[in-house]
Structure 1
């Protein structure tokens, strides 16, 4: 009989009882006991003792010793060199033959000199003969004091040109103002009438010179003998230093030349390239003074150009007109490696005088005598200035020597220019000139070697022209290969400066302003055998005769 389902409808929840049998007890779970045994872990503590640690350092000058070369297996290189040796030798022979074949064409090209191009004309003043007068021009833009460009200098980067403005026709104390103006020619837009920097001075500024490695540092010398240093990178006041005008040991007349001279002692002492250079100044008073540019209160050493006049035993002070230090030949290793262009480490320098004589001088300033000199100046003691002249036997000019420049490629060669209208090439080892040139009957005010072409130089004249020479040219007579008419008004050109970084740029300065010229490649590209020819020039007694013999061959 089937079960009857329960009916809970009539059951009271509190009295009802329901039994539900358990089922989990019927399930028997099997259990097994398992154990394992491991070896006990071994541990050990160890200590050690070390000495205290200390760091030490030292600094030494670079002795120039190369690092030990890594040993390489050169068998592959040797095989390669042996393989291409015949081919390279053949190409060298071919190049020599081509040069000989092209020599007549080179001579023909020399006879047809390419012209130079004036790429910039710069002046902070309105032209005197300007047909259009700018009524908005300020007083500083009107050249009412008739200032002329007295000196030019390129920055170490070759991008900025600086010009000092003053006058040469002043007698006595100067009351005219001067100025230093700079233009950065690397700018996209150049305002030729508004310099990037203009610094006005109380008296005429007669000389200026950029620092050889610091492109913003520049020194300037005034007509009254004051020496300034400016930093063009500063904001506001650009002046870094100024000489004391109340000292007894100072320039009493115009500072006509400023040279930055490299000094090993200062390089080791200060450890910076900027302070490794000293300033050496030449004054028309015949004094040659040495300064620390960052401490311009007083010179640290000085000389006076004392030398007897012809026929007189007594020594007189000769007025200086120009100065140049001998240079280390390019490529020569020096202890001061890495000097900027224009910095001179040698102690020998040449001075041109107002009386036409040329002095070979030597700067022997050292730690001992500079300290004693500085002590005496600080104490207000009387200081006797020695003469630096070592040799004065060079054949003199018939007029004031306003230009002198030493060759950057041959140490003993130097050029001079004079108001007698001549350019002379001397060897410091010979008393007579090796070459005598007269490009014009006018005064000559400046001369400079090309820093890239060993046998190219230029001379600035009072007739408004710059005469350029190239001694490589096979001409019957040495003559200018290019003449630059700078202003077309026959106004004197007082100064010129080759760009130290860009071979094709030359700057000239006159009464109208600054002209920047782009030179043709024939005056900038180095010729084959040029330095060898320069060495022969230094050894000959007569350059004209040597050139004639060379042309005959």
Structure 2
């Protein structure tokens, strides 16, 4: 019933695929290039303003209009007409008066002219009752150095003392602990920091030695010293100062003692000593005297030097004050010798005095030359007066009563031509202003107390607002001065010129 049979295959093409292939087509498109441009724009803001005062007659009319309803005070118009000529005459006279030239109104309370910033002390020195004999600021103005000794011992003193320094810019400043303490075998009577190298300090000792300390050395801070020789001082050294030498950039040490010698030393750091370069001897017989000044030499023939000052204007001029009240203008004569004397060779002393001022009644403790006028200097001593001098005349230009006790030191302000400060034996520091109509002190620093004499002071050359004061109680106070005491007024220099040109009566 069923049989196998092979049949031929039949192929039927897909109509759908053909229709789809014919509908497909490739197409392409591309947009045009986009151009980009960067541009900046800023608006400028402008403002136009104007002002104009109204004419005087309009203001007057407005005042009359405002007050037209108020009745005029009886007799006012007649009074104004009667005094008009007198008032105008006085106003004209005031315009020609110079009574208030240079006067500046001070709105501050005078109690705020000074304020204490620091009270520094070395505990060991305070316990032993040592006095502050000298203070000096470093050339940077940040470090204050002080020397300890005694000012009331007339006998030979072998008691050891100290030189201490404090860095006021240090964050961890301890007023009762010095940053550096140098032990010295005898009392230190004078101190002076180097004008260019902040680590060097020159000092004079009660034994007559002159020492230079290097505070940057960690072991022994003594850089050089004079030792005891035939040419060195044999009496206490009361003043030391750094002096520029002929060789550029180098400084020597000038020292003065009560033995009547002023010696110039050069620093020989290789040999560790100070080498004598020049010597000046002050002998009474060689002191020039004016015909109008009588002076009788008493006691020793030597002039014991108690104070010394260098002229900032003339490198050949220096001033000395003596125990007997002599005040002398001296000259280095010639510039410093070109070569120091050879080993073992003594230096022949010169007679430096060229002019004598009127003697004082007691020792001259301090002299300081004005940094604003080449001929003006101030001196002070046991008479309690501050004497203003001119280098050109023997008599003082002006004498001011500063204290009923001694005046231990005077110093000009580094910024005010008419201002100087004086440290007194009563413990006060008086700041005097020669531009004031009254000769009373412009400010008084710290009222004194028994046993607390102000022995020394020093203005800070880098920061004129700071003044350091040393006392016999072993403390060093750093005071801040107000602008009234440090800022120069317009006519101050011309006023100092007028004082310098006046003839002493």
Give the TM-score normalised by the residue count of structure 1.
0.68
Q: Does 1:147 align with 2:109?
A: no
Q: Does 1:294 align with 2:277?
A: no
Deviation at 1:192, TM superposition (A): 0.7
Q: Does 1:388 align with 2:352?
A: yes
Deviation at 1:398, TM superposition (A): 0.9
Alpha-carbon distance change, 437 to 241 in structure 1, aligned in 2, over 3 angstroms: same
Structure with greater strand share of residues? 2
Deviation at 1:360, TM superposition (A): 0.6
Deviation at 1:209, TM superposition (A): 0.6
| DSSP 3-state at the match of 1:213 | coil
Partners of 2:195 and 2:280 in 1: CA distance = 24
1:403-482 aligned within 5 A: 403-475=366-438, 478-482=439-443
| DSSP 3-state at the match of 1:533 | helix
Contact 1:301 1:365 in 2 (8 A): no
1:249-328 aligned within 5 A: 249-263=231-245, 265-267=246-248, 273=249, 276-294=250-268, 296-308=273-285, 310-311=295-296, 316-328=301-313
Partners of 1:205 and 1:312 in 2: CA distance = 30
The match for 1:508 among 469, 483, 500 is: 469
Partners of 1:173 and 1:518 in 2: CA distance = 37
* 1:155-211 deviation digits (Å, cap 9, x = unpaired): 001100000000122334321111100000011121011111100100001111110
Contact 2:268 2:274 in 1 (8 A): no
Contact 2:416 2:487 in 1 (8 A): yes
Partners of 1:199 and 1:141 in 2: CA distance = 12
CA-based RMSD:
2.6
Contact 2:365 2:381 in 1 (8 A): yes
Contact 2:113 2:485 in 1 (8 A): no
Alpha-carbon distance change, 166 to 217 in structure 1, aligned in 2, over 3 angstroms: same
Q: Which residue is 2:208 aligned to?
A: 225
Partners of 2:177 and 2:266 in 1: CA distance = 32
Contact 1:107 1:474 in 2 (8 A): no
Deviation at 1:542, TM superposition (A): 5.3
Unaligned stretches of 5+ residues in structure 1:
1-96, 126-139, 268-272, 329-344, 544-553
Deviation at 1:456, TM superposition (A): 0.5
Give the TM-score normalised by the residue count of structure 2.
0.74
Partners of 1:112 and 1:484 in 2: CA distance = 11
Deviation at 1:487, TM superposition (A): 5.5
* 1:385-430 deviation digits (Å, cap 9, x = unpaired): 22211111x1111111001000011011000001011110000101
Contact 1:326 1:412 in 2 (8 A): no
Q: Which residue is 2:341 aligned to?
A: 374
Unaligned stretches of 5+ residues in structure 2:
1-94, 288-294
| DSSP 3-state at the match of 2:436 | coil
Deviation at 1:374, TM superposition (A): 1.8
Q: Which residue is 1:352 aligned to?
A: 321
Contact 1:113 1:481 in 2 (8 A): no
Contact 2:192 2:241 in 1 (8 A): yes
Contact 1:301 1:370 in 2 (8 A): no
Contact 2:122 2:177 in 1 (8 A): yes
Q: Which residue is 1:204 aligned to?
A: 187
Contact 1:114 1:522 in 2 (8 A): no
Partners of 2:240 and 2:417 in 1: CA distance = 24
* 1:443-471 deviation digits (Å, cap 9, x = unpaired): 11100000111110011100010111111
Alpha-carbon distance change, 542 to 171 in structure 1, aligned in 2, over 3 angstroms: closer
Contact 2:268 2:275 in 1 (8 A): no
Partners of 1:443 and 1:460 in 2: CA distance = 9
Alpha-carbon distance change, 110 to 102 in structure 1, aligned in 2, over 3 angstroms: farther
| DSSP 3-state at the match of 1:374 | coil
Alpha-carbon distance change, 293 to 380 in structure 1, aligned in 2, over 3 angstroms: closer
Alpha-carbon distance change, 201 to 531 in structure 1, aligned in 2, over 3 angstroms: same
Q: Which residue is 2:113 aligned to?
A: 115
Deviation at 1:107, TM superposition (A): 4.7
Partners of 1:165 and 1:487 in 2: CA distance = 20
Q: Which residue is 1:65 aligned to?
A: none
Contact 2:202 2:212 in 1 (8 A): yes
Contact 2:125 2:162 in 1 (8 A): no
Q: Which residue is 2:150 aligned to?
A: 167
Contact 2:409 2:455 in 1 (8 A): yes
Partners of 1:318 and 1:418 in 2: CA distance = 16
Partners of 1:313 and 1:398 in 2: CA distance = 13
Q: Which residue is 1:528 aligned to?
A: 490
Contact 1:496 1:506 in 2 (8 A): yes
Contact 2:125 2:148 in 1 (8 A): no
Deviation at 1:320, TM superposition (A): 0.4
Partners of 2:150 and 2:299 in 1: CA distance = 33
Contact 1:460 1:493 in 2 (8 A): yes
